[in-house]
């Protein structure tokens, strides 16, 4: 399957576009720029790993790529949450991420996570041991 045909890849691309505009609005202080670079790096890596997973044969190799995708998305979530914390009312002068934008991000993130979970499950099914051999080892 080509990456552009995958719904996960397309949703990650849309998240990348959203994050690009978010990072562009960040203040020019070093801490915000570092946070913005980390967000973009995580999304770029997530897109790359998704391409690798789509091209990998079903099995252990694809599962490793899916697990790496999960790691990059967890790191992304940490950085987005950090920007949210900085955008709370106490820091009104540095508001980068509004409550509505964060809610939209959380909805999109949850949808991507559900698709990744179903992708992982569909690849694990083929790796289960045959029924006759399961549990036949000595205790």
In the chain, domain spans: 3-124
- 61 CB neighbour count, 10 Å cutoff: 14
Q: Angle at Cα 90 formed by Cα 38 and Cα 105, nearest 5°? A: 40
pLDDT above 70: percentage of residues in the chain: 82
Q: pLDDT class for 46, splitting at 50, 70, 90?
A: very high
Tokens of 25: 């609005």
Half-sphere exposure of 65 (CA within 13 A, CB side): 19
Single pTM value for the model: 0.81
Dump pLDDT digits (tens) for 107-121.
999 999 999 999 999
CA distance 88 to 90: 6
For residue 6, pLDDT beyond 90: no
Tokens of 75: 């790191």
- Output 44 or 83, whichever has higher pLDDT: 44
CA distance 39 to 13: 13
CA distance 109 to 12: 9
Q: Does domain 3-124 have CATH number 1.20.1250.20?
A: no
């Amino acid at each position: 399957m080509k990456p552009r045909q995958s719904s996960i890849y397309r949703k990650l691309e849309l998240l990348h576009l959203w994050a690009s505009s978010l990072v562009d609005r960040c203040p020019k202080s070093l801490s915000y720029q570092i946070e913005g670079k980390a967000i973009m790096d995580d999304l770029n890596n997530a897109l790359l790993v998704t391409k690798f997973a789509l091209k990998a044969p079903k099995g252990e190799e694809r599962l490793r790529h899916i697990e790496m995708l999960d790691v990059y998305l967890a790191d992304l979530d940490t950085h987005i949450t950090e920007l949210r914390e900085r955008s709370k009312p106490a820091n009104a002068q540095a508001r980068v991420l509004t409550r509505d934008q964060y809610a939209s991000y959380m909805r999109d993130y949850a949808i991507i996570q559900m698709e990744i979970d179903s992708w992982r499950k569909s690849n694990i099914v083929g790796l289960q041991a045959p029924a006759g051999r399961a549990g036949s080892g000595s205790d």
